[in-house]
């Protein structure tokens, strides 16, 4: 069973439709018992880091996610969901994340050139670190474009970066360590490339 974690943050409709398009029957739930029975978990999210992190804590889902990750269950965070996997965020303050990946989420302002609009919205090509081609992206070619919407990005996390995107600077686009993975972009809004990534995660052994 594929489960999409529902904690009151984000539009889950497009993700579920994309999962159905690759042959899955996703269950959208915030029930810890159902999440524990699932084979794989998606952690979506849009909006503010602090609000999302608080909702996870208030519902106890932060503990569930950490425990399931520790037991080896594959988890894929998307956009804000990816950012929540890190140790902390500097989004209008300092906020604690789930701590499943090393690094922190920081503003793009001051990193990308002033001529570049923030938030970063649009299609950008993926680039792979030399000698590091993660199985999650096995069906993706260098330069394939995916869709981004974000103003903050994951930094100080070189050891877990599996793809970057150039937006006046090389920004973290996808990350992975063991069974914990994340995409800063929206695979559910990224056409065939995004569907390929979702299918790979759902069908892969991690």
CA distance 61 to 3: 13
Residues 84 and 105: their CA atoms lie apart, in Å, by 9
> Residues 6 or more apart from 33 whose CB is under 8 A from it?
none
Classify 1 as helix, strand or coil: coil
User: How far apart, in whole angstroms, are the C-alpha atoms of residue 61 and residue 175?
Assistant: 21
The CA distance from 32 to 112, in Å, is 40
Catalytic (active-site) positions = 79, 186, 188
CA distance 14 to 78: 12
């Amino acid at each position: 069973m594929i489960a999409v974690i529902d904690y009151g943050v984000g539009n889950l409709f497009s993700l579920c439709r994309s999962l159905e398009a690759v042959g899955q029957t996703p269950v959208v739930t915030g029930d810890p018992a159902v999440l524990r029975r699932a084979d794989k978990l998606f952690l979506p999210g849009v909006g503010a880091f602090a609000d999302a992190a608080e909702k996870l804590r208030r519902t106890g889902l932060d503990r569930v996610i950490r425990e399931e990750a520790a037991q080896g269950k594959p988890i894929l965070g998307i956009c804000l969901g990816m950012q929540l996997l890190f140790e902390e965020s500097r989004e209008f303050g300092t906020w604690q994340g789930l701590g499943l990946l090393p690094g922190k989420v920081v503003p793009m302002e001051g990193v990308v050139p002033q001529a570049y609009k923030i938030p970063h919205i649009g299609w950008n090509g993926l680039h792979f670190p030399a000698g590091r081609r993660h199985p999650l992206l096995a069906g993706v070619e260098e330069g394939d474009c995916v869709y981004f919407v974000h103003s903050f990005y994951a930094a100080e996390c070189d050891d877990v970066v599996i793809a970057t995107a150039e937006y006046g600077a090389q920004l973290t686009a996808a990350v992975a360590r063991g069974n914990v993975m994340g995409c800063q972009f929206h695979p559910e809004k990224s056409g065939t490339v995004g569907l390929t990534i979702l299918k790979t995660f759902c069908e892969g052994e991690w």
